[in-house]
Amino acid sequence: MESGLEELMPRLLPVDDCDLAEDFDPTVPPRTPQEYLKRVQIEAARCPDVVVAQIDPRKLKKKPTVNISISGCQPAPEGYSPTLKWQQQQVANFSAVRQSLNKHRNHWQSQHLDSNVTMPKSEDEEGWKKFCLGERVYSEIDAPSDNENLGIDYMKVGFPPLLSIVSRMNQATVTSVLEYLISWFGEKKFTPELGRWLYALLACLEKPLLPEAHSLIRQLARRCSEVRALKESKNEEQISALNLIICLVSRYFDQRDLADEPS
């Protein structure tokens, strides 16, 4: 059996017979190249030929779902579709914002953040949702009718996407936060806080897009079209915001199959 394995799996580190010290101990760090290679062989020989993975069946009860939809956006309801001129102007404005951001990124990175601004770690999904949207939106708490505080409590209303903040975010963080907010938006309503952050994160995305970012922005545009299609009354401000995101994804980031047909 061993000879058959040798033929199928020739040793990459052959060790010729060599005189090792009588007190050779494979459990201590090797002192010579021969001792190192011998130790590797001993460890390899202890590995079982077959390894069985221990799988927790409880984790398999919920079937994983993967969204690989390649469908386009839902058509805009009658009267909701933006004109081609409007879309072209938004793309031009967005391009100018991106150029300005890239030009002055180093300057804004050098600016000190206020003492109350603590940016979450990249992998802290819940922390970023609360940071961007505020505890009121995140927890779906109605804002008080009276002005109880003269100052702004950014923990409650969310931190705006200031240049001093977004300039500190690398591409991995930009993509992660974009994913967190799109996931939240998949089950929640569109809010001004969400719209501001989505616009800022899109402005920070570098081209050419990585596959993950490509998939995310397409998902975002489709979600915007779904929310827009459910609007019973034409809220000019919100419809314009949804149209803007669809426009930028489709026309600036070259996802033309998602573009609105001009009215």
Distance CA 176, CA 122 (A): 7
Q: What is the mean pLDDT of residues 176-202?
A: 95
- End-to-end CA gap in the chain: 75
Q: What is the pTM of this model?
A: 0.69
Inform me whether the pLDDT recorded for 208 exceeds 80. Answer: yes
Helix (H) or strand (E) holding 38: helix 33-45
Q: What is the mean pLDDT of residues 110-125?
A: 90
pLDDT value at residue 253: 97
Per-residue pLDDT band at 51 (split at 50, 70, 90): low
Q: What does the pLDDT look like over 17-44, one tens digit per residue?
A: 556 666 777 777 777 777 777 777 777 6
Q: What does the pLDDT look like over 149-166, one tens digit per residue?
A: 445 777 788 899 999 999
Distance CA 224, CA 176 (A): 19
pLDDT value at residue 263: 64
Residue spans of the domains in the chain: they are: 84-141+152-258
Q: Look at domain 84-141+152-258 and name its CATH class.
A: mainly alpha
Helix (H) or strand (E) holding 91: helix 84-103
- Say if residues 231 and 246 touch (Cβ distance below 8 Å): no
C-alpha distances out from residue 45 to 2, 42, 97, 171, 230, Å? 11, 5, 61, 44, 64
